[in-house]
Structure 1
Amino acid sequence: MPRFMGFVKMEEGIGAPPQALFDAMDTYIGEQAAKGTFLDGGGLYGTEDAVNFVVRKGETTRVDGPYAEAKEVVGGFAILQYDSLEEAIAGQQEFADLHAKYWPECSMVATLRQISDEAPEAADA
């Protein structure tokens, strides 16, 4: 059964979502967990405590948050499992629709990506 990662990108520092969204999400996630499609997930803290390791030209540099240049940040994630890509897309649409309905002031992007179950092939050197 294919697994997917859903994540939300939105502007940081726009305030807390309304209680109605929290309530709707609790119901939605509970239903998805009961069906076996929601495996794990959660919201993320702000970037003030984030740590990035940037690799460029064979060098690794640590960059601590917050990141003033970031317009949108990943605010939450979910690990999901569906029978098909079409079902996963429909589920992510429902998730996005909850935000549109209960927090219309929020601008966000809900992204869905399939998780690879195979190791990547090495590039020829």
Structure 2
Amino acid sequence: MPRYLSMIRIDENNAPEGGPSAELMQRMGELIEEMTKAGVLLDTAGLTPTAEGTRVHYEGGRLSVTDGPFTETKEVIGGYAMLQARDKAEAVEWTKRFLRVHEEHWTVTCEVREVVEG
């Protein structure tokens, strides 16, 4: 069965102060449990803010290293989910369910892409 990476994109400059509510975390936990029992969710996690990140860039044979935050970036990867699904449509459906557990004041985009195998 193919694997899909759902990259969770947020604008960390406009994310709700205080992060996810207790209710959101509960709904998310319930969905994660359902996805795990269904054998769809292989791994998931949130990521630290860009202020704690480092970019390593390669261009023209040269490497550069830049510490965060990356203020010029509008959207950042705030987390991910690795899914194993029958097809892309199923992976997208699970991703839609993930987005629906959020309250209306959240703005979240997920990019779903198939993992290229071996």
In the superposition, the TM-score normalised over structure 1's length comes to: 0.86
Q: CA deviation at 1:111?
A: 1.2
In structure 2, what is the equivalent of residue 51 of structure 1? Answer: 54
Which deviations, in whole Å up to 9, do the C-alpha atoms of 1:79-110 show, x marking residues without a partner? 110112221111111112222xxx21111211
Alpha-carbon distance in 1 for matches of 2:23, 2:110: 19
Q: Aligned to 1:26, what secondary structure does the other structure show? A: helix
Runs of 5+ unmatched residues, structure 1: 119-125
Q: Partner letter of residue 58 of structure 1?
A: G
- 1:114 counterpart residue number: 114
- Aligned equivalents of 1:108, 1:25: Cα separation in 2: 14
Matched, 1:10 2:10: yes
How well do the aligned residues superpose, as a CA RMSD in angstroms?
A: 1.1
Output the amino acid matched with 2:30.
T
Q: TM-score, normalised by structure 2?
A: 0.91
Q: 2:92 aligns with which of 89, 93, 100?
A: 89
Partner of 1:33: 36
Q: Could you list the runs of 5+ residues in structure 2 that have no partner in the other structure?
A: none
Q: How does 1:63-102 map to 2 (within 5 A)?
A: 63-99=66-102
Residue among 19, 26, 32 paired with 1:23: 26
What SS does structure 2 have at the residue aligned with 1:80?
strand
Tell me the percent identity. 29
* Number of residue-to-residue matches in the alignment: 115
